C-alpha cells in the first residue's frame, strides 16, 4: 500500500518538498518534475534535504525537466522517467499524491 508522491514546485517554495518528505512512508516513491527538479542540482541547499531520505524510498525525475534545466542528475541516485515510465509507476504504486 505504498504511495507515489509527485512534486513540481521550485525548492525555493520550500513547504512542498519538506512536507512531502515528512510524511513519506517506507517504500514510497517521489517523482520530481517541473521546477522541483532544481532540488536535484548538486551543491544546492535543497539537494542536502534529500540526503536524509529513507533508503526504502525511490527517487525519480521526469527526464525532460532535468534536460531542459541542464542538471547533472548523476550526483544523486535518481531514476529518469519518460511519460510511459511515469504512467507505469502510477500503476505500480497503490495511489498517487500530487503535491500541487
Partner 1 sequence: MAKSVLLISRQAPWAGIGAAEALDIALAAGAFDLPLSILFMDDGVLQLLDQQQPQALEQKDLSANLQALPMFGIEQLYVAQHCLTVRGLADNPLALTAERVDDQRIQQLIRQHDYVMTL
Partner 2 sequence: MKFVINVLSSSNAPATRRALRFAQAVLAAGHEIVRVFFYQDGVLTASNNLVVAQDQQDIAKQWQAFITENKLDAVVCIAAALRRGVLDQAEAQRYQREAVNLADGYQLSGLGQLHDALQQADRCISFGGE
Chain residues that interact with partner 1, rule: CB under 8 A: 1, 3, 10, 12, 15, 19, 22-25, 34-35, 38, 41-45, 47, 63-65, 67-70, 95-100
State in angstroms the smallest separation of the CB of 59 from its own copies: 23
Residue 44 is a binding residue for its own copies (CB under 8 A):
no
How far apart CA 42 and CA 93 sit, in angstroms, is 28
Per-residue HEC secondary structure of the chain comes to: CCEEEEECCCCCCCHHHHHHHHCCCCCCEEEECHHHHHHHCCCCHHHHHHHCCCCCCEEEEEHHHHHHCCCCHHHCCCEEECHHHHHHHHHHCCEEEECC
Q: How far is the CB of 47 from partner 2 (least distance, A)?
A: 20
Residues 10 to 49 in contact with partner 2, rule: CB under 8 A: 10, 33-35
Closest approach of its own copies to the CB of residue 16, in Å: 10
Question: By CB under 8 A, is residue 12 in contact with its own copies?
Answer: yes
Minimum gap (Å) between residue 12 Cβ and partner 2: 12
The three cell numbers of residue 62 are 521526469
Amino acid at each position: 500500500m505504498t504511495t507515489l508522491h509527485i512534486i513540481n514546485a521550485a525548492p525555493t517554495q520550500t513547504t512542498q518538498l519538506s512536507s512531502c518528505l515528512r510524511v513519506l512512508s517506507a517504500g514510497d516513491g517521489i517523482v520530481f518534475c517541473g521546477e522541483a527538479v532544481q532540488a536535484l542540482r548538486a551543491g544546492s541547499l535543497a539537494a542536502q534535504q534529500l540526503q536524509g531520505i529513507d533508503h526504502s524510498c525511490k527517487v525519480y525525475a521526469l527526464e525532460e525537466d532535468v534536460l531542459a534545466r541542464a542538471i547533472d542528475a548523476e550526483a544523486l541516485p535518481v531514476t529518469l522517467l519518460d511519460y510511459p515510465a511515469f504512467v507505469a509507476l502510477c500503476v505500480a504504486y497503490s495511489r498517487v499524491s500530487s503535491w500541487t
